[in-house]
Amino acid sequence: MSIGLQAIKAPFDQIVGQPTASRFLTASVQTNYRPQAYLFYGPSGSGRSEAAYLLARSLLCSEGGDDDCQDCLRVLRHSHPDLQELSPEGASGYLIGQIHDLSHSAALSPMLANRKVYIIQQADKMSVSFANAFLKLLEEPPPNVVFILICRNLAALLPTVRSRCQLVPFTAIPTEQAIALLVAEQSVPDSLARLALAYSAGSLSAARSFIQSSSLQQQRRTLMSLLRGLSSYDSMDVLEAARQLVICCKLPLDDLRIAQQRQLEENRETLSKAALNDLEQGHKRELTALERASARWLIEGLRSWVRDILLVYCGLPEQVVNYDEIEAIQTGFLPKQPDMLARLMFCLEASNEAEAHLDYNVSVQSIYEYLLFTLREQLTGRP
Ligand SMILES: [Zn+2]
């Protein structure tokens, strides 16, 4: 190892619970191995996005990404003009217009760094026509462009796309390890760390956001208070509760709007008018995507509550996630019905179904109405 290599710190050590990915990325930076495209694959919540941003930081920072220079800070705040993150804009996947925008943007020179980085989330949601157009981009890549694809299901990606990427595997972080980490890092009690993970479908980064965001916690409190009242609701109340949940979906948008405003301010001097316009268009899409994700979180929260009723019913209250709701569950939702277990399983199934409907652009209000009416009927025996 040369002196120069020793001087490089190991920014990828920050990737939690992924020794293979961390070792590989450290070695690839140290040896200057720079594939044109990486494919980070593995389950949601395994830290693929955080690793992608760390890699982007090392690619865009003139110091190798291990310090706190302006470039690094911009990457970590997601506001570097040479870094773009793409997510599917259609309800069921990437839109063909998105690949045209990507090809156009990739052909332009970088603004601050000497290369551009694109993080492509949910790469397994590329349609065949999108993937074929993307393949052309990989076959004749514009100079100084690096793609970091992120996906869960490797098999859903075109083999020809897959074979042009450097594969980097991620595995699920064990829940107890993730909880211990959140407790140490965020100085929160074990119970809140467990709750945050449950609300984030096991994703460490989403759990961090949950702990730090008052609006996400407010969203959960509203959801819990609506669910608590469910057993006494008449039909009008259920409709009103569904309406409240739709309003609740918009709560986290305010945080994002503030971050977007800051990004615009930071880049106002360096970006052209057209680039600023693109940025603003991207912001609008981000807001839509967040609203959709937020609708999903609420269903996740609702599911965790049903699971908790199941745990209390089965005599396992110590495993409950919504620890502050145990009393309300015990007093309000455990009628002595012989088929309670089947009813609870039906509710879990209904929440899975409701989540699937979100992918088909069904109105969020009607999905929540369906769910709340189903829950009320199953849990109280009242149609
Ligand atoms: Zn830096």
Count of other CB atoms within 10 angstroms of residue 5:
11
- 169, 184, 205: which is the final residue of a domain? 169
Long-range contacts of 362-369, Cβ-Cβ distance < 8 Å, separation of 24 or more? 364/246, 364/249, 364/295, 365/242, 365/243, 365/246, 367/295, 367/299, 368/241, 368/242, 368/245, 368/246, 368/298, 369/238, 369/239, 369/242
> What tokens were used for 263?
């990004």
CB 171 within 8 A of CB 42: yes
Mean pLDDT on 88-116: 89
CB 69 within 8 A of CB 92: no
- Residue 180 placed within a domain: no
Q: What's the pLDDT at 335?
A: 63
Sign of the Cα pseudo-torsion (104, 106, 111, 117, in order): positive
- Ligand 1 centroid, distance to 309 Cα (angstroms): 48
Strand partners, 148: 38, 119
List phi, psi (to 5°) of 119.
-100, 120
- 103, 138, 169: which is the final residue of a domain? 169
Are 161 and 220 in a shared domain?
no
**Residue tagged 């120069």 (tokens):** 4
Are 165 and 38 in a shared domain?
yes
- Residue 249 placed within a domain: yes
Are 119 and 236 in a shared domain?
no
DSSP 182-251: HHHHHT--HHHHHHHHHHTTT-HHHHHHHHH-HHHHHHHHHHHHHHHHGGG--HHHHHHHHHHHHHHHTT
Mean pLDDT on 206-224: 90
Give the Cα-Cα-Cα angle 7, 10, 16 (nearest 5 degrees).
170
Q: What's the pLDDT at 4?
A: 33
- Ligand 1 centroid, distance to 266 Cα (angstroms): 17
- Ligand 1 centroid, distance to 68 Cα (angstroms): 5
Helix, strand, coil % (nearest 5) of the chain?
Answer: 65, 5, 30
- Ligand 1 centroid, distance to 2 Cα (angstroms): 21
Strand partners, 120: 86, 149
> What tokens were used for 42?
């593995």
- Ligand 1 centroid, distance to 80 Cα (angstroms): 12
Are 116 and 234 in a shared domain?
no
Q: What's the pLDDT at 10?
A: 57
Mean pLDDT on 149-159: 91
Q: What's the pLDDT at 179?
A: 93
Average pLDDT of the chain, as a whole number: 87
Range of the domain at 128: 3-169
List phi, psi (to 5°) of 140.
-125, 70
- Ligand 1 centroid, distance to 74 Cα (angstroms): 9
- Residue 200 placed within a domain: no
Are 154 and 37 in a shared domain?
yes
- Residue 193 placed within a domain: no
- Rg, Å, the chain Cα set: 23
> What tokens were used for 186?
């965020």
- Amino acid (one-letter) located at 294: S
- Residue 178 placed within a domain: no
Percent residues over pLDDT 70 in the chain: 96
Q: Compute the distance between CA of residue 286 and CA of residue 256 in angstroms, rounded to an integer.
A: 8
Q: What's the pLDDT at 262?
A: 87
- Residue 189 placed within a domain: no
- Ligand 1 centroid, distance to 21 Cα (angstroms): 21
For 252, the 3-state DSSP assignment is coil
Percent residues over pLDDT 90 in the chain: 46
> What tokens were used for 97?
């217009």
Q: What's the pLDDT at 3?
A: 29
Q: What's the pLDDT at 7?
A: 36
Are 162 and 217 in a shared domain?
no
- Ligand 1 centroid, distance to 3 Cα (angstroms): 20
Q: What CATH number is associated with residue 111?
A: 3.40.50.300
Q: What is the pLDDT of residues 46-94, one digit of tens each?
A: 889 989 999 999 999 887 766 778 888 888 888 898 999 998 887 778 9
CB 347 within 8 A of CB 379: yes
Are 223 and 159 in a shared domain?
no
Closest CA to 343 of 312, 319, 309: 309
**Residue tagged 């849990």 (tokens):** 379
Burial of 7: CB neighbours in 10 Å, binned 0-12, 13-18, 19+:
exposed
Are 242 and 119 in a shared domain?
no
Q: What's the pLDDT at 1?
A: 31
For 381, the 3-state DSSP assignment is coil
Give the Cα-Cα-Cα angle 164, 169, 171 (nearest 5 degrees).
155
Are 24 and 154 in a shared domain?
yes
Q: What's the CA dihedral at 135, 139, 140, 143 to 10 degrees?
A: 100
Sign of the Cα pseudo-torsion (213, 219, 224, 225, in order): positive
- Ligand 1 centroid, distance to 5 Cα (angstroms): 16
- 116, 142, 169: which is the final residue of a domain? 169
Which stretch of 52-66, 148-162, 218-232, 324-338 has the lowest confidence by average pLDDT?
324-338
- Residue 21 placed within a domain: yes
Containing 150, the helix (H) or strand (E) segment is strand 145-151
DSSP summary character for residue 116: E
- Ligand 1 centroid, distance to 29 Cα (angstroms): 14
Are 227 and 107 in a shared domain?
no
Between 67 and 44, where is the model more confident?
44
pLDDT at residue 5 tops 60:
no
- Ligand 1 centroid, distance to 114 Cα (angstroms): 13
- Ligand 1 centroid, distance to 24 Cα (angstroms): 20
Are 158 and 268 in a shared domain?
no
DSSP summary character for residue 13: G
- Residue 207 placed within a domain: no
Domain count, the chain: 2
* 80, 148, 192 from 197: Cα distances, Å: 29, 25, 9
Are 376 and 228 in a shared domain?
yes
